[in-house]
Structure 1
Amino acid sequence: MAAYSELVKKLTLAEKASLCSGKNFWNTQNIEEHQIPGFMVTDGPHGLRKQGGSADHLGLSDSVPATCFPTAAGLAASWNRELMEGVGRRLAHEAGAEDVAVLLGPGINIKRSPLCGRNFEYFSEDPYISSEMASAYIHAVQQEGIGTSLKHFAVNNQEYHRLTVDARVDERTLHEIYLAAFEATVQNSQPWSVMCSYNKVNGVFASENHKLLTELLRDTWGFEGFVVSDWGAVNERVAGLKAGMDLEMPSSGGVGDKAIQDAIENGTLDEAVLDRTVERMLAFAEKAEKGLFRKQSVDKKEHHDFAVKTAAESMVLLKNEGVLPLQPSESVAVIGEFAEQPRFQGGGSSKVNPAYLDIPLEQIKKTASADQQITYARGFHIDRNDIDAALVEEALAAAKAADKVVLYAGLPDRYESEGYDRTHLQMPANQAALIEELGRVHDNVTVMLSNGAPIEMPWLESVKGVVECYLGGQGMGQASADILFGKVNPSGKLAETFPMTLQQNPSYLHFPGNKDSVMYGEGLYVGYRYYDAKEETPLFPFGYGLSYTTFSYSNLRIEQPEAGSTNVTVTCTITNTGSTAGKETAQLYVKDQESSLERPERELKGFTKVHLEPGESKDVTFELNERSFAYYHDGFSQWIVEPGMFTIAVGASSRDLRLHEEVDVTEDTRPVTRIHRNSRLEELAQHPDLNPVLEKHLAPLASNNLFAQQMTEEGGAADPMMAAMMKEMPLRGLINFSSGHFTEQNLTDLIEACNAKIK
């Protein structure tokens, strides 16, 4: 930041403090006298939301027309990095054309519970795919000269009391599940900014959490940009600045600026801390000015066509018992008010004013053959839960007269949104009842779901087809028609687990906590990690998704350039064994066969999506590294790899793994541990070189003490109880059980001898 130090010296204290907060709701502060420009930032995870008149962060006021792409839940289901890049480039072009310097996204918080009202805006329950999709998006946006803001940092996994709740999570879970996506995304793509969350993390507000904002984000992960508060997330402005929170948004009307000035003048804040933040804001201003100078042109029609393509690739075929694709000769009854009034995005700060909007019913009629009969019945009221008998009868009559039935159903806006969480996973009663009724009168019913997060499906056996459309953006209508008629072969796969019931999901007993705090009691076992460990069958597993064709996996090969290394290349062959062209996402999972700490049954560490013509085969390759085999050790406060055998599994989902192979990792990144009086005997056993030392120091006791005899005998204690006691006993216990024959000095000599041997 030395390049900005001279300019910082020219600024008054008041001017420097002013750069630490917004000028208004969406703009950063400018200082004309010093030619420091201000810039607009605005929401944009899946579409630009630039507001013209009155401003808010909850999607209440209208914004300029913009392309509305699928929300993150759907984008993640595409498992397609290149598609994410395409979305990012187009959003950057629209932002640049509207003089917006930073898109406030993507959001990569982990889907801890399916109840979180904002899950539609997040990618996954898994940190690896979350970071891969986010990194692709950020790279593409920032290559076009527009910034991003990675959010919400950190552990913001619910809307209930989100402004004040204290998320209590153990260190290992924090790093492996809730911070891992942020860490990888920062290191892979260097977003211009990171947005801190509202909540506390282990007792400290994220906006003033030095451990998160400085020790981890900057000092450990190497983040180079600025940290911005979520809108209204600042608790104590000076504490936030000290912690590394640079920009307060929106403007506090000078309150935060004055607090900073007062703290410097009374000596409670070092001015160097303020100067550091000002330098970061100046660096941002220079990048933003260069980016917006490029001026972007926007072809909204081309963007809409890409939104249709993106939506189609994000849809997941959950069930198909020969009912899809629809054939030109079949009459079709389209049912459900969502077919006329589609739900294509979520509520809150990400709500976009779409430039175009495809209506499913209209697109079905356009896509059908010229003489194909398409009828429609409303079936239910979107804005009500009660059953309208007349609408049901109309729908049943339409269904009986058609060869195939397509029902557009899902969750209304009021069921899921920013600002509140769901309390159940059920669909509205009128929709669930209609599905059951249709299943009774017709054998060929397909349900097209529009929802931002998992739902329970007690009606699943009543229908033959289910397509998860998620919240598919403005192109959802055409995309769903393309899927139904087979113009696009579905290739989406779930990036989250669908539980059978709410009670089955791992966070059920802990979510959303009480008014003050929430305990992350399930620990590491979030999503598929829990279901695999418990050997429970969910409704639909992580990574699951069907196709109109079939694929085989074969010829798994593993290469280690150096024996025992964690740098591993995995290759396999995928073949389209059906008669239809399609795309398949191969997923790679790693399992540690034996570890000193418990680990999940398997963890996603790679994925590749490939297009295959009928009968075509292609090799897909995955690159693994040290982190692919590591876990976070809270005792050492670092990621470590233990040597041993690991299972590499590749397949179509977390529960459909077709190929397995073992790899031997001899690399050992565990730090040298010092032996002390509370070290357990089992810890010494992990160091083979220490066994002779232990025997030497205990041998003189063997003639006087049965316990010592057991420990020095070859093979150890024969009695199971004695063996368990010795394994768990700290070294100081040798004094307690030696009848006075093993003293403090003996213990000191043993510890010194062990540590000398370790060196």
Structure 2
Amino acid sequence: MDIARANDKRRAAELVAQMTIEEQATLLSGDGWWATHGIERLGLPAITLSDGPHGLRRIRRNDSWGAGGSVPATCFPTASALSATWNTKLLREIGAALGREAQAVDVQVLLGPGINIKRSPLGGRNFEYFSEDPLLSGRLAAAYIDGVQSEGVGTSLKHFAVNSQESERMATSSDLDARTLHEIYLSAFEIAVSESQPWTVMSSYNLVNGTYASENHALLTDILRRDWGFEGLVVSDWGGINDRLAAVEAGNDLEMPGTGDFNRKKIVSAVQEGRLSKASLAQAATEVVALVLRAVAAHKTDASFDEDAHHALARRAGAEAIVLLKNDDKILPLGSGKKIAMIGAFASSPRYQGAGSSMVNPTRTSNAADELAALLGAGNLVLARGYDTEGDTTDALVNDAVNAAASADIAVVFAGLPDSYESEGFDRRSIAMPPGHVRLIEAVAQKQPNVVVVLLNGSAIEMPWAPRVKGIVEAWLGGQAGGGAIADILTGRANPSGKLAETFPATLEQTPTFPNFPGHSGHAHYGEGVFVGYRYYDAKRLEPLFPFGFGLSYTEFAYTGIRSSAAVFDVDHDGSVTIEVTVKNTGSVPGQEVVQLYVHERAPALPRPLVELRAFDKAALEAGEEKTVRFSLNRRDFAHYDADTRGWAVTPGTFDIRAGGSSRELPLKTSIDVAAKSLVSKHLTRRSLVRDFKGVADGTAFYEELVHALGFGALLDSTNQAESGGLTQEEVMAIRKARMSAFAFIDEIPVNKVPAFSHGQFSEARLEEMLRAAGDEH
């Protein structure tokens, strides 16, 4: 903890000690929808919290969810778009801009970023989250947090944790095993907390394995604070408190929005009756006061921001987020002097942000039709509406679009998902676009051979029409400057450099959670385990529509070399190993390439994904330029979560390091022999299997004793003899064959059955002695 933070905590504790129980309890709930309570007699002011992750939603009235509207603010691209930039420097820059705007309208805490894992493309709030991969999500979130907090405004990392669906989100338990929880759903939060220390973390609505996240002591105290070292405040999602007393005990400090006297009286009564400790109440109140003191100290009374500069930043970010998915015959960029048919209502009236609590009142907006007219000349464009606001079309609208396309050299069709198809509060029913959009694309493509489709959507969609068009541009929900960003990419003013941060499946049936998403009747079963997103497609050898990490450019890149700083990496003694990857721009124009580094374990102790993203960087290269990108891998990059020991374990062996431009295009490979201590021993019980004793340090003697007790000692002795030599090849092969069959049975026997198998010669007392000895070693 830094000195300033420690001083805030000390001063906060002193103020709380001067408060009555009623005053302390008052601090634990908001004053209205967006503010905390102040304590006037102690000079403690209130502070304001505000949505949202991609733009400030400063509601004009504190007593309202949204009535009266919000103040104008820059609407940046949503998280699904920003994640496609794979650019931490850009995320930091956007975060700083958001911080300046928050200071300008007197907001002390910005409620973002959202980093829940995209378990299914049907997630209704996927536009507000970064990725299906925890490393990418965590690193981008850390950069965003650094940017916002550099301006003296706090962030609220959300939604903690395992909040992957909108359906029944306040009543559904996310049920999953410990390994999946830690490797997939907590890792992004851990990275963001460890690297950037957000001022607050927001607990989620849902339950986790049967316990509400807002009252989950294991999540909020044991993991978040003790294991990760989180130093800030935990705030509930709005309306996310179930049992206020249990939430206080678990470490959920601030309830939002305010509930007046309702929960305050419960807290006061519980303390007076001894059902809630004074220490727990004081601790939560201290966290609230410390947050207020930190915000007050960082407040800027004369803050302002440059609307033009922020709009320009939004345009640059929108262009860098765009992913070029298809570019047959180099149909893009659009050449000068050609007649372009602009088809689809989204060309003039774009969908540029998601719906729900992150809805921003933009300072201005742009559209692609006007921006392209400014760049190419209005005389070179012909427009056709194509469909209505819900994506429905008619024969007349289709005929107008076909005629426009036939009169042009190239048809650019704008399509995607209307507001009603994805929003906070509900999950999507399919990954299909509106039938009217599909019909329009297919009709235009039948008449015009040169078709480019520009997509405006917050999450993955299916594209049955993809083989019939030459170009596909994923423009996401690109923010208020998204129209200009699209125009920059289509005309070549900007070279596309976006890469998918989520897999685009060919069909819904291909997805990892089909047909079990979303969960219903109070439970969401995470049966796919760690095999989320590209991990699943790789394991099942499925060919998605577009893989994780994929994206084209107007130039070409060649991966020319990979080198490791060491052939052997001892994870217990060496701090890190350096990997160098060399990439060259072999094309004729400048461009940016996202260099991706994945790790593959050749002989894992548990089923593991084929490859997992472990590092990335974005390199800007002039035409013909070559650069070497350096990555540092540490122990954690080779580890898996061991549920028995509740820690991160590394299996000694060979790991392949692969590098390239997407999860399915990894042309470079080097190998490292990873040295590590033997797997940390399992927590051995009477239900442990015989084979588990092989996992304990110096456990060979225990294992062999059990094998002898089961009556297979002769086979074990003959195996040792075969390994030491002195037998013919035929005898060795016979022993190995017998061993394979016998030990498949032996190793699976629970140790509590060994006394009975041995007719009591291996006693219950000896079993208990062995269990104690194995446990004592660790």
Which residue of the partner structure matches residue 389 of structure 1? 395
Q: Which runs of 4+ in 1 moved over 6 A?
A: 696-699, 748-756
Query: Who is 2:636 aligned against?
Result: 627
Deviation of 1:53 (Å): 3.7
Residue 238 (structure 1) aligns with: 245
2:362 corresponds to: 354
Match of 2:503 among 462, 480, 497: 497
CA 1:563–1:531: 2 relative to 1, 3 Å: closer
* Structure-to-structure mapping, 1:144-183, within 5 angstroms: 144-183=151-190
Residue 717 of structure 1 contacts residue 723 of structure 1 at CA under 8 Å; is this kept in 2?
no
C-alpha separation between the residues in 2 aligned to 1:380 and 1:509? 31
Q: Secondary structure at the match of 1:623?
A: strand
Does structure 1 retain, via aligned residues, the 8 Å contact 2:24–2:282?
yes
Question: What's the offset of the Cα at 1:176?
Answer: 0.8
Q: For the residues of structure 1 that align with 2:17 and 2:240, how far apart are their CA atoms?
A: 30
C-alpha distance 433-292 of structure 1, shift in aligned 2 (>3 A): same
Check whether the contact 2:344–2:414 (CA below 8 A) recurs between aligned residues: yes
Q: 1:362 to 1:203 in 2, by over 3 A?
A: same
Q: Which residue of 2 aligns with 1:39?
A: 47
In structure 1, the partner of 2:191 is 184
1:588 — aligned with what?
597
Cα deviation, residue 136, structure 1: 0.1
Specify whether residues 393 and 754 from structure 1 end up closer, same or farther in structure 2 by C-alpha distance, changes over 3 A only: closer
State the match for 2:516 in structure 1. 510
- Residue pairs, 1:12-91, within 5 angstroms: 12-53=20-61, 56-57=64-65, 61-91=68-98
Deviation at 1:744, TM superposition (A): 4.5
Q: Which SS does the other structure have where 2:116 is aligned?
A: coil
Indicate conservation of the 8 Å contact 1:647/1:662, yes or no. yes
Contact 2:644 2:682 in 1 (8 A): no
| 2:671 is the counterpart of 1:654 | no
Which residue matches 1:428?
434
Could you tell me which runs of 5 or more consecutive residues in structure 1 were left unpaired when the two chains were aligned: none
Select the residue among 100, 104, 116 that pairs with 2:107: 100
Q: Which whole-Å deviations, capped at 9, do the CAs of 1:537-564 have from their partners, x for residues lacking one?
A: 0011000000001001122011149842
Alpha carbons of 1:628 and 1:750: their partners in 2 closer, same or farther (altered >3 Å)?
Answer: closer
User: Which residue of structure 2 lines up, in the alignment, with residue 723 of structure 1?
Assistant: 743
Change (3 A) 1:755 1:186: closer
CA change 1:698–1:217 in 2 (3 A) is closer
Q: Do the aligned partners of residues 273 and 417 (structure 1) sit closer, same or farther apart at CA in structure 2, a change above 3 Å counting?
A: same
Structure 1 SS opposite 2:747: helix
What is the correspondence of 1:172-571 to structure 2 with a 5 Å cutoff?
172-293=179-300, 295-321=302-328, 322-368=330-376, 370=377, 373-385=380-392, 387-560=393-566, 563-565=569-571, 567-571=576-580
Residue 671 (str. 1) matches residue 691 (str. 2): no
Instruction: Report the secondary structure of 2:570's partner residue.
Output: coil
Letter in 1 for 2:271: I
1:451-493 CA-to-partner distances (Å, cap 9, x unmatched) read: 0001110010111000000000011000100100011000000
Specify the SS of the correspondent of 2:346.
Answer: helix
Letter of the aligned partner of 2:352 in structure 1?
F
Aligned AA (1:614): A
CA distance in structure 2 between the partners assigned to 1:178 and 1:754 by the alignment: 32
Q: CA deviation at 1:707?
A: 3.4
Q: Measure the CA separation in 2 of the matches of 1:441 and 1:173.
A: 49
Distance in 1 of aligned mates of 2:303 and 2:686? 67
Q: Displacement, 1:736? A: 3.8
Q: In 2, distance between residues paired with 1:165 and 1:530? A: 24
> Residue 263 and residue 337 in structure 1: after superposition, are their counterparts in 2 closer, same or farther (change >3 A)?
same
How far did 1:573 drift? 0.8
The residue type equivalent to 1:329 in the other structure is: G
Secondary structure in 1 matching 2:562: strand
C-alpha change, 1:696 and 1:248, in structure 2 (3 Å) is: closer
Instruction: Tell whether the 8 Å contact from 1:707 to 1:737 is kept in structure 2 after alignment.
Output: no
Aligned-partner residue type, residue 359 of structure 1: N
Q: Are the counterparts in 2 of residues 60 and 348 from structure 1 also a CA contact under 8 Å?
A: no
How much does 1:626 deviate?
1.4
Task: Name which of structure 1's ranges 267-276 and 728-737 shifts more when overlaid on structure 2.
Answer: 728-737
Cα deviation, residue 624, structure 1: 1.0
Whether the 8 Å CA contact 1:497–1:527 is kept in 2: the answer is yes
TM (norm. structure 2) is 0.93
1-structure distance, mates of 2:302, 2:173: 43
State the alpha-carbon separation in 2 of the partners of residues 479 and 755 from structure 1.
61
Structure-2 separation of matches of 1:27 and 1:695: 65
- Deviation at residue 60 of structure 1 after TM alignment: 6.4
- The root-mean-square deviation of aligned C-alpha atoms, in Å, is 2.2
2:568–2:675 contact (8 Å) kept in structure 1: no
Structure 1 contact 206–212 (Cα < 8 Å) conserved: yes
Q: Deviations over 1:214-254 (max 9, x none)?
A: 11111111111111111111111111111111111111122
Deviation at 1:3, TM superposition (A): 3.0
1:709 matched residue in structure 2? 714
Task: Indicate conservation of the 8 Å contact 2:559/2:660, yes or no.
Answer: yes
The Cα of 1:670 is off from its aligned counterpart by 3.5
Q: Secondary structure at 1:213's aligned position in 2? A: helix
Amino acid at match of 1:709: A
Residues 708, 738 of structure 1: 8 Å contact kept: no
Aligned-partner Cα distance in 1 for 2:628–2:135: 22
Of 123, 132, 136, 2:143 maps to 136
**What is the deviation of 1:686?**
5.0
- The structural deviation recorded for 1:46 is 0.5
Instruction: List runs of 5+ in structure 2 lacking aligned partners.
Output: 1-8, 723-734
Alignment correspondent of 2:729: none
Q: Partner of 1:596: helix, strand, or coil?
A: coil
Overall identity of the aligned pairs, in %: 47
Structure-1 separation of matches of 2:129 and 2:264: 33
Q: 1:278 to 1:692 in 2, by over 3 A?
A: closer
Separation in 2 of the partners of 1:746 and 1:717? Answer: 30
The whole-number CA distance in structure 1 between the counterparts of 2:766 and 2:21 is 63
Change (3 A) 1:281 1:745: closer
**TM-score, normalising length: structure 1:** 0.95
1:697–1:750 CA contact under 8 A, matched in 2: no
Q: For each residue in 1:260-301, what CA deviation from the matched residue of structure 2 results, as whole angstroms up to 9, or x when unmatched?
A: 111111111111111111111111111111221364221000
Q: Is the 8 A contact 2:597 2:615 kept in 1?
A: yes
SS in 1 for 2:559: strand
Separation of aligned partners in 1, 2:169 and 2:31? 25
How far apart, CA to CA, are the structure 2 residues paired with 1:261 and 1:384?
54
Deviates more, 1:440-449 or 1:674-683: 674-683
Distance in 2 (CA, whole Å) between partners of 1:259 and 1:741 is 60
Distance 1:499 1:694 in 2: 47
| 1:730 to 1:308, Cα distance in 2 relative to 1, 3 A | same
Task: Output the CA distance in 2 between the equivalents of 1:681 and 1:266.
Answer: 51
Q: Distance in 2 between matches of 1:509 and 1:751?
A: 43
In the alignment, residue 612 of structure 2 is paired with which amino acid? E
Q: Deviations over 1:316-362 (max 9, x none)?
A: 00110021010002110100000110000000000001101011100
The correspondence for 2:19, drawn from 11, 27, 36, is 11
1:599 corresponds to: 608
